[in-house]
Amino acid sequence: MGRAVAGDDDAGYGMASTHHDEQDVQVHAVVAAEQSLIVEAVCTALGSSGLESDREPWPGVLPSPRGHHAEARHTAGLLVCDLKDWRQIRASGLVLRRRSIPWAVLTSAVPGPAWGAVYDHGARVVLSAQTPLDQVVRTLTTLALNPTASELDEDPEQRQRFQTQWRHLCERRAELSSRARALTPREREVLMLLYEGAMITEIAALLQVSPSTVRSQVKAVRQKLGVTSQLAAVAAYGSLIEPDLGRALVTS
């Protein structure tokens, strides 16, 4: 979307200031985003096109004085989020399930499992961060007035593919988490040091054991995590402690 929205330089969200014709029926939007500046910028942009909006509180963030207003008769939600990690995915799911209204998601995430996650959480439509403002307004208006409208339908095969990718990702993470619980405290320590970039000899010196002992512990870690290399073990550990959906976009 052409004009950058204030407060979201990293994600590159923007809304071209294309004015939307006044609606025959007044609709209302609620906007949710983790950063208050993004919410205010999006609400201002929507208002410039004649669409009234209010902020939807983000999980764990105190609501602004603007508040959580009574729901209008014709209401749709707009969630703005990078969807870049599990924390954001979980928070987005809480937002999408909080109200019984149709939701659109505006995201800079590459189409893939992150899109599948919000579909699974109930999003009716997912839009790229580059979507023009007039199209966002039309989408929200249609969602509010007729959420089952065929014009909102997206490629069902693509949608299903993204949801399948997301579910496989969840299954893989759950499996890794289960396997990781089998690691001994010393094996977890060795794996953490490998993840931080330490060499076998450095780990041996730090733990005051022989390099061969460390290699044996690394072998045990690989076996318990179900991977065939030290690099794969480190990557698996990283996916558990610093999950980044961007890394998973090439999967399945």
- Identify the pLDDT of residue 62: 59
Top-confidence residue, 159 or 3? 159
**Claim to verify: residue 148 and residue 197 sit in the same structural domain:** no
Reported as a single tens digit per residue, the pLDDT across 206-216 is: 999 999 999 99
Quick check: 4 pLDDT over 70?
no
- Identify the pLDDT of residue 251: 37
Q: How many domains does the chain have?
A: 2
Mean pLDDT value of segment 70-82: 83
Q: Which of 154, 189, 214 is the last residue of a domain?
A: 154
**Claim to verify: residue 65 and residue 99 sit in the same structural domain:** yes
Q: Long-range contacts made by residues 17-24, C-beta under 8 angstroms, separation at least 24?
A: 17/45, 17/48, 17/133, 18/49, 18/132, 18/133, 18/134, 19/48, 19/49, 19/50, 19/134, 20/49, 20/50, 20/51, 20/133, 20/134, 20/137, 20/138, 21/50, 22/50, 23/50, 23/51, 23/141
Mean pLDDT value of segment 53-69: 71
Residue 34 lies in a domain: yes
Q: Give the confidence band of 84 by pLDDT, cuts at 50, 70, 90.
A: confident
- Identify the pLDDT of residue 10: 43
Residue 9 lies in a domain: no
Q: What is the mean pLDDT of the chain?
A: 84
Residue 64 one-letter amino acid: S
Mean pLDDT value of segment 189-198: 94
pLDDT over 70 percentage in the chain: 81
- Identify the pLDDT of residue 238: 84
- Identify the pLDDT of residue 173: 85
Whole-number Å distance between alpha carbons of 138 and 240: 39
- Identify the pLDDT of residue 227: 92
Quick check: 13 pLDDT over 60?
no
Residue 64 lies in a domain: yes
Give the total residue count for the chain. Answer: 252
Number of CB atoms found within 10 A of residue 73's CB: 9
Q: Which of 120, 154, 188 is the last residue of a domain?
A: 154
